[in-house]
Structure 1
Amino acid sequence: MTLLPPRWRLPYVALLTVVGLLLSVSALEAYRLSGGRRAWEPFLWEFSSLAVLGPLALGVHALVGRLHGRHWRHQLAAHLLALPVFSGLHIAGMFGLRLLVYGLVGVPYRPDDIPTLLVFEGGKDAVSYISFCLISRGVWMAGAATQRQQELERARRELAELRLARLADQVQPHFLFNTLNLISSVMYEDVARADRLLCQLADLLRQTLAAQQRVEHTLRDELALVQPFLALMQARFGEQRLVVQIAADDDALDCRLPALLLLAPVENAVKHDVARHLGRVTLVVAATRQGGRLRLRVSNHGDRPVQETAPDPEGGLGLRNLRERLAARYGDAASVHFGPEGGAMSLTAELPCVS
C-alpha cells in the first residue's frame, strides 16, 4: 500500500472489498448448485485472489508509469518479463493463503497440479495484467494531462502578471513627465508655488511607488492616490479653474482593482480638458457597486471650449493602458466605454468587484 497516497488507501481497500463481495456472492450460487456445503469457501477463494492482486495491481501501475515515454519495444520487453512474475506471485500468494486458512480450520484442500494451475490461472492473469496496464495507462495519461493543464495555467498567470507589471510601469513615467512639464511652466513665474508643487509631487511619487509594489489594492487606496494628484493639479491651475468632485459608495470602497488604474484616466481628463477650455473645468470621479460589479466613472466638462475638435476615440496612451490592464486582469469580464456624454467627455469602466 506504500504506492498509494494516504488519502487513497482507504478508498482502494473499500473498492477491493466491494469487488470481492460481488464476486463471492456470484460464486456462492454456483458453489451451492454444484453441491458445496461450506458457504465460506467461495469467499475465501475470491478474497485470497484479490488480497494478492491488490498490491500487484499497484506494482503494475508503477511499472506503467516508469515506462511512460519510452520506446514501444522497451515497453513490450518489460511487460513480457513482468507478466510471468505477476502471474507467479499471484498464484503463489493466492494458494498460499488458501492452504493456510484450510489448515487452520482443519479442512483438507487439494488444488490442481502445478501445470494445470499455471495454464488455467496464467490465462486469467494475462487478462488481468493487460487490463491493469490499460487502466494504469489511462490514469497516467489523465494525470499528465492535468499536470500540463496546471503548468499551462500557471504560465498564463505568470505571463498575465508580467504583462500587468509592464503596463503598470508605463503609468508612472507617463504621469511623472506630464506633471513635471506642468510644474516647469510656473517655476519662473512663482518659485514658491513651484517648490510646493515639487514637494507634493515627491510625496505622491512615494505613494505610487508603494502602490506598484502591491500590484492590487482597494478602491479606497486608489482614491488615496487620486486625491493628492488632483490637489496637485488644482494647485497648478487654481481651484476656480479646476473643480474636483469625488463620490464613491461605501460598498465600492472595499472592491479590489489593479494599482494606479485611475491615475492615468484622471490625468488625461485634467490635461486634455484644461488645455481645450479657457474657463472652469469640472472633473467628477464616481464609483458605485452594483451586486458583484464595480462601476467607475471619470467625466469632465468645460465651460468655454477653445475648439470643438473631436478627442482621440481611443482616449490616448493612458486610456489604452487602462483597457489593456483590465483585459489582462479580467478578460471579457471588464469593459471600458469612452466618449461624449451630455456635453462632457466620460470614461466608464466596469469590472468584477472582489472584496
Structure 2
Amino acid sequence: MPADATPSHSNDALQQSLWWAYAGLLLTIALLLSVAELQHYLASGGRHFWEPFLWEFSSVLMIGPLGIAIYRWHLRVLHHASLSARVGLHLLGALAYVAVHVGGMFTLRWAIYALSPVVYEPGSVLQILAYETGKDLVSYGTFVGFCHGLHLYLDAQRRQHELARLRAELAEAQLNRLAEQIQPHFLFNTLNLISSVMCEDVPRADRILCQLADLLRQALAAQQAGWHSLAQELQLVEPFLAIMQARFGPRLQVRIEASDAARQCRLPALLLISPVENAIKHDVAASSASVEVAVRAWVEGRVLHLAVENSGAAPQRTEREGALGLANLRARVLGHFGPGAMVALRAGAAGGSVLSLALPMEQDA
C-alpha cells in the first residue's frame, strides 16, 4: 500500500520552498543591481567599490520584509468587495511602503557611512523622496501583482489538496462498504452449511459453531486492522477451511502453497475468504466426488500472484454480470492497488475453476 503524503506535510514543504525561492530571488536581484551600479559608479570616477553594494543591498534588505507585509496586506484588502475600497487601501499601502522603505534604507546607509571616513551626501529629504517615490510606487504595484498571483496559486494548491483528501475519504468509505458486504455474505453461507449438519450430528455442529465464533473474532480484528501480511490472511483461511472440511468430510481436500516471500507481502484483510468460500460453495457443494481446493501464492518480480483453484467437475463458473462476490473482490483490489492489479476467473486445465489475482508487491518491514 503506497504511503501518501498528507496535505499538511505537502503545505509545509511548499512553504519552505517558497521561502528559499524568495530569499534566493532577493539575493540575486541585489547582486545584479550592485554589479550594474558598480559599473556606472566606476565610470563616474568612484573610488570605493563597496558603496554600490551598500546602496543596493540596503534597499533590497528593506524590500524583503516589506514584500511579506505587502502580501499580508493584499490578503486583507481582498476581503473588501468594493473596488474603490481596494484601490484606496492599496494607495495607503503604497504610501506606507514608500515611507518605510526610504526611511529604513537611508537609516542603514547613514549608520554604515558613520563608521567610515567616506562622506555620504544623497541630497535633501525632498530630493530623496522625489527620486525614490516613483521607483517605489512601481515596485509596490509589481509586488501586488506577484502577491495576487501567489495567492491564486496557493489557493489552487489548497483546493487540490482538499479535493484529494475528499477523494481519499470517499474511496476509503467505498472500500469499507465493500468489505462490510463481503462479511455478511460469508457468514450467511457458512451458517447455511452448518445448518445442514445440525440435524445429522448435533455435537459436530456445536464444534463447528465454536470454530466459527473463534474465526469471526479473528476476522473482526483483521478487518479493524485493515491491512496485514499474507501469512496473517492464511491464518484466517486455514480455520475456515477446517470448518468446511468438518462439513464435507473426505469430499473436500485442502492444499495451501505459499512461498516465504509471498507470506511477507501485505494485502487488505479478508481478501481471500470470499474467493475460498465461493470455490467451496460452487464446486464442492455441487459435486458428489472428492474435490481439492488449493490456495497458492508466489512472487514474480514486484508482483504478488494469488490463485484459488479447485478440481471440481461442476460446470465452469463465469464472471456473471452483477455477481456480488467477484464484483466486490475486483472493486476492492482495484480500489487499493489501482489499474496495475488484476482479477480473473477462468477454467482450470484439468477441470474446475481458477481465480487469479495479481497485486503490486507489499512486504512487512
**TM-score (normalizing by structure 1):** 0.91
Change (3 A) 1:250 1:309: closer
Pairwise mapping of residues 108-147 of structure 1 onto structure 2 (< 5 A)?
Answer: 108-147=119-158
Match of 2:354 among 315, 339, 346: 346
Match of 2:196 among 143, 160, 185: 185
Q: Does structure 1 retain, via aligned residues, the 8 Å contact 2:245–2:252?
A: yes
Give the aligned partner of residue 171 of structure 1.
Answer: 182
Shift of 1:273: 0.6
Shift of 1:15: 4.5
Shift of 1:146: 1.8
Question: Following the alignment from structure 2 to structure 1, what is the Cα–Cα distance between the partners of residues 215 and 19?
Answer: 58
Amino acid at match of 2:111: L
Change (3 A) 1:115 1:293: same
Match of 2:275 among 244, 265, 283: 265
Change (3 A) 1:207 1:133: same
Give the aligned partner of residue 332 of structure 1.
Answer: 339
Change (3 A) 1:153 1:120: same
Tell which deviates more after alignment, 18-27 or 81-90. 18-27
Tell which deviates more after alignment, 258-267 or 336-345. 336-345
Question: Following the alignment from structure 1 to structure 2, what is the Cα–Cα distance between the partners of residues 251 and 309?
Answer: 32
Amino acid at match of 2:35: V
Shift of 1:314: 4.8
Question: Following the alignment from structure 1 to structure 2, what is the Cα–Cα distance between the partners of residues 302 and 45?
Answer: 90
Shift of 1:94: 1.6
Q: Does structure 2 retain, via aligned residues, the 8 Å contact 1:333–1:351?
A: yes
Match of 1:44 among 46, 50, 54: 54
Q: What SS is found at the alignment partner of 1:337? A: strand
Q: Does structure 1 retain, via aligned residues, the 8 Å contact 2:299–2:305?
A: yes
Change (3 A) 1:169 1:6: closer
Q: What SS is found at the alignment partner of 1:217? A: strand
Shift of 1:166: 1.2
Report runs of 4+ in structure 1 exceeding 6 Å deviation: 5-11
Give the aligned partner of residue 77 of structure 1.
Answer: 88
**TM-score (normalizing by structure 2):** 0.88
Shift of 1:175: 0.9
Change (3 A) 1:6 1:174: closer
1:316 aligns with 2:316: no
Q: Does structure 2 retain, via aligned residues, the 8 Å contact 1:313–1:338?
A: no
Shift of 1:319: 1.4
Give the aligned partner of residue 62 of structure 1.
Answer: 72
Match of 2:242 among 211, 228, 231: 231
1:194 aligns with 2:205: yes
Q: Does structure 2 retain, via aligned residues, the 8 Å contact 1:314–1:338?
A: no
Q: What SS is found at the alignment partner of 2:264? A: coil
Question: Following the alignment from structure 1 to structure 2, what is the Cα–Cα distance between the partners of residues 311 and 92?
Answer: 82
Q: CA RMSD for the aligned pairs?
A: 2.2
Change (3 A) 1:6 1:191: closer
1:204 aligns with 2:215: yes
Map Cα deviations across residues 252-304 of structure 1 (whole Å, 9 max, x no partner).
1111111101101110000111232121111111111112111111111225x
Change (3 A) 1:61 1:167: same
Q: Does structure 1 retain, via aligned residues, the 8 Å contact 2:311–2:348?
A: no
Shift of 1:233: 0.3
Question: Following the alignment from structure 1 to structure 2, what is the Cα–Cα distance between the partners of residues 310 and 171?
Answer: 19
Q: Does structure 1 retain, via aligned residues, the 8 Å contact 2:293–2:309?
A: yes
Instruction: Kindly tell me the number of residue pairs found equivalent between the two proteins.
Output: 347
Change (3 A) 1:67 1:221: farther
Structure 1: gaps (5+ residues): none
Aligned residues: percent identity?
Answer: 50
1:97 aligns with 2:105: no
Question: Following the alignment from structure 1 to structure 2, what is the Cα–Cα distance between the partners of residues 244 and 213?
Answer: 28
Question: Following the alignment from structure 2 to structure 1, what is the Cα–Cα distance between the partners of residues 167 and 18?
Answer: 31
Q: Does structure 1 retain, via aligned residues, the 8 Å contact 2:77–2:90?
A: no
